[in-house]
Structure 1
Amino acid sequence: MSFEIKLPLFEGPFDLLLFFIERDELDIHDIPIFQITNEFVGYLRELEQLNIEVASDFILTAATLMRIKAKMLLPRTEKDEEGNEIDPRQELVQHLLEYKKYKSAIPDLTAMEEQRLAQENRGNIQEELQQIANANHFEYELQDLSLYKLMRVFEKVMTRYTEEQNRPKHTVLTYPYTIEGQRDYIMNKVLERHKVAFSEIISEYPDKIGMIFNFLAILDMLQLNVIGVEIGEGFNDFAITVAEGQANQVLQLLVE
């Protein structure tokens, strides 16, 4: 038999992101998305190795960070009404600022809760109601009860049950791909043959997720300036080569 351990260290993904930002003293308005993404995904991998269940909102946030990371690698074409380029991190920064604002209110709410718990409730309410009921010769628990109210309650319960049954159920699938793994695969191919066509890589990973990971790995290596691309023979094809003067650095990256 196996068992799972749940650690309530971080209440949600934004809590974890704020921890990384405050720990490394980063500017929340100018988040280094590559560093934050790697640390966030690394944390989730450690949880999986410890057999700790990872909530779906953490997985969704990791996917969002990878999407922003891919957008940062591509040329920015989205512009606002004034013609300025839209930062892909803008929406994430707004959510983090909102979360931080509400989180800062938690100590005040906690103090209010402790103050309220220290107060004593009135202890004679039930006795007073019973005295009134005895004086009027009826049970006060049933004084406002009617068949109509019972039917309304039953209707609400049935509606809630129907909504729960019809609520969409999400299934999270784990794919056997990582950016680092596909990057090493592509780099080994290029070092072995000096030039590899993108169509050849697609033919070996024909599924949609595999193509996405391979394309992101190529963008990552272009950003690191360890590969180059050349226009291939096909209309939608290109060849991948080792960047000039980068062969030694490529071998060092593969060893690491």
Structure 2
Amino acid sequence: MSFEIKLPLFEGPFDLLLFFIERDELDIHDIPIYQITNDFLDYLHHMEQMNIEVASEFILVAATLMRIKSKMLLPRPQLDDEGNEIDPREELVKHLLEYKKYKSVLEQLKEMEDAQISKEKRGNVLKEVRSLSENVNVESELQDLDLYKLLKVFQRVLERYEIEQNKPRHEVIQYPYTISGQKDYVQAQLLKSPKIAFSTFIESDPNKIAVIFNFLAILELLQLNIITMYIGEGFNNFWIEKLEEAAAE
């Protein structure tokens, strides 16, 4: 049989880092990142061996330490706008100093809280709970119900219904046209008439989308050397003809 024990030794990853720094009497402004990273990872591996769940905050700090360690091993340091070398540990040190500052006053705040609790009475808890239960009791609400409250509730329901009905809705409609389908349509029309003006296709189906698909289909047929095109009379008008018949002429 196996059992699992969870011991909250440290409240967070920064608490663990401060413990290593204070234990080894390290300078927080000049952290030996190699030593701290190894100690931190060893602690996480120890937690995993004891089947203790590792919080995501510890994993994030471990990844940050390894990233800083890899940056310090690179031969090319990063420079700021003034040309000064940027210490990869700067941001970590800043967070540690802030965490240490807040942690230093936690004990004092806890003592103040305990002193205040011992001085102030917490009141009649049973009376407060009873009062709260009466406020949310359905039967007590129905006792104070009148026609005006019903009308106000009905008005709010109608307003919400009207807002819901007038909400903008985006509807996607699939066009009943395809390039391949319009190519077949154009070739079928050329079988009936060897030479057709593009305006004829517009007159047969004046829908803007149909005109665009027909034009794209004609362009593809031109690229495939199935049809040829002649500039016709009129504004933006042209004639199309099957390439075989055009070559015969």
**Normalized against structure 2, the TM-score is what?**
0.49
Bigger RCO (CA 8 Å, 6+ sep): 1
Q: Which one has a bigger Cα radius of gyration?
A: 2
Could you tell me the TM-score, scaled by structure 1's length? 0.48
